[in-house]
Amino acid sequence: MPTSQDLHDSSALAIIREMLDKADVRINGDRPWDMIMRDESVAERVLAYGSLGLGESYMDGDWHAERLDEFFTRVLAARLDREVEHPIRLAIHAIRHRLFNLQNMRRAWQVGQVHYDLGNGFYEKMLDRRMTYTCGYWAQASDLESAQEAKLDMICRKLDLKPGQRVLDIGCGWGSFMRFAAEHYGVECVGVTISKEQAAHGQKLCEGMPVEFRLMDYRELDEKFDHIASVGMFEHVGHKNHHTYFQVARRCLKDGGLFLLHTIGKNRRHSTPDPWIDRYIFPNGDLPSLDQIAEAVEDQFIIEDLHNIGADYDRTLIAWNENFQAAWPELSGQFDERFKRMWEYYLQACAGAFRARTIQVWQLVLSPNGVPGGYRRPL
C-alpha cells in the first residue's frame, strides 16, 4: 500500500489533498473512508474531468477506499463536487442537457439497452426475490426483503387499491409492484417498459396472474385506468418531456383515480446530470427538482401528498452492494474486473449521496380534480 510520502506533491495533488481535508478525508490514510491513491495521475484527472475523472480512475484501479460509501458521504456533504466542476467541460455538458431532448422517442430506449438489459440473472442476484429495483422503505424493516415489501404495500395503500380495479404501471420493470398489487389487493395491472429483458422475464414471473407487460414508450399510452403508479421511471423522462409525461398520465387516469409518482429528485433545479453516471450507468438520465414537477403538473393534477423517503435509499443501495459482492464469484465469469469496479462505485457512491442528503426520493400522490374532503395519507 502506498504512503503519503510515496506520492510527490505535484500542484494537482496538493490541490486535491487540500480539498479532501475539508471533508476529513486523507490521501493514503488509515481510516476506512480515506482515499488510497495508487497513481498520482488521479489528481490531475479529477481536476481536469471532475466526477468523470474520479469515476474512471477508480474503474482503472488507480485508487480505492475501504468504505467507498463513507468516502462519498463526506465528500458530498462538504460539497466538494462543486469545487471540481471544470467550467468549460461542465458548460458543454450543461448545454447539451438543456438544449437537446435527450429522452425523445428514439433515444429513450438507450437506457433499457445499456442498463436494464444487462441480464435478468445479474439482477436476480443483486435484488430482492421480487426484483424490486427502487428504494425500499426501512421504517420498520430489518432486511431488504421486508423493506421492499413495506414499500410496495405502502404504494398500494396510498392508492387505496380495491379488488377489480385496473391499474397502470408506467415503467414497470420486472413487475414487482404489479405482482404484489395483484396478489394482495386483487387488482388487474398493465405495465409498460422499454427493456426487452424486463418484459420477457416479468411476463414469465407473472404467469397466471392478471398482469400484462407491454414493450412500448409511455407516450403511446391512450386508455383509461382506475389508478396509476410510476415507481423509479420518471428519472428517465427528461425535463423537456415532463409536461408531456403528465399529459399522458392525465388522459389515462379516470377522474376519480389517483396517480402515485415515486422518483429520485435533486435539490437544485439548474444542476446537471452527473457526467460519470450519464456515461456509464444511466444514459440520458435527468433527475427532476420539486419545482420542475410542480410546474409540469400545473393545470393537470392537484398534489395531494408529498413524502420524502430518500434517506432509506442509503440502506437499500448498501444491501444491493452486499448482494453484488457476494455473487461476484459467480458473476465474474460473465463480467470483467473493470465492470465490478464500475458497479460497486455506482452503488456505493449513490449510497453516499443519499446519506449526505444531496439527492432525495419523493412519493407524490396526485389527483385530477382534488379528493373530496381531502386526501389522508394512510399510516
Provide the annotated active-site residues: 350
Please name which of 202, 349, 376, 199 lies closest in space to residue 282, comparing C-alpha atoms: 349
Kindly provide the residue ranges of all beta strands, DSSP E only, lying in 184-280, ordered along the sequence.
188-193, 211-215, 227-231, 259-266
Contacts of 37 (CB under 8 A, 6+ apart): 2, 7, 27, 28, 43, 62, 63
How do 211-215 and 166-170 pair as beta strands?
unpaired
Q: What is the DSSP string of 148-198?
A: HHHHHHHHHHHHT--TT-EEEEET-TTSHHHHHHHHHH--EEEEEES-HHH
State CA 265 to chain mean position distance. 9
Please name which of 112, 243, 143, 229 lies closest in space to residue 179, comparing C-alpha atoms: 229
CA angle 179, 182, 187 (to 5 degrees): 145
State CA 290 to chain mean position distance. 16
Cell numbers given for 330: 459467480
Please name which of 2, 76, 90 lies closest in space to residue 40, comparing C-alpha atoms: 2
Q: What's the CA gap between 156 and 299, in Å, rounded? A: 26
231: helix, coil or strand? strand
Cell numbers given for 120: 435478468
Burial tier of 3 (Cβ tally within 10 Å: 0-12, 13-18, 19+): exposed
Please name which of 374, 373, 369 lies closest in space to residue 255, comparing C-alpha atoms: 369
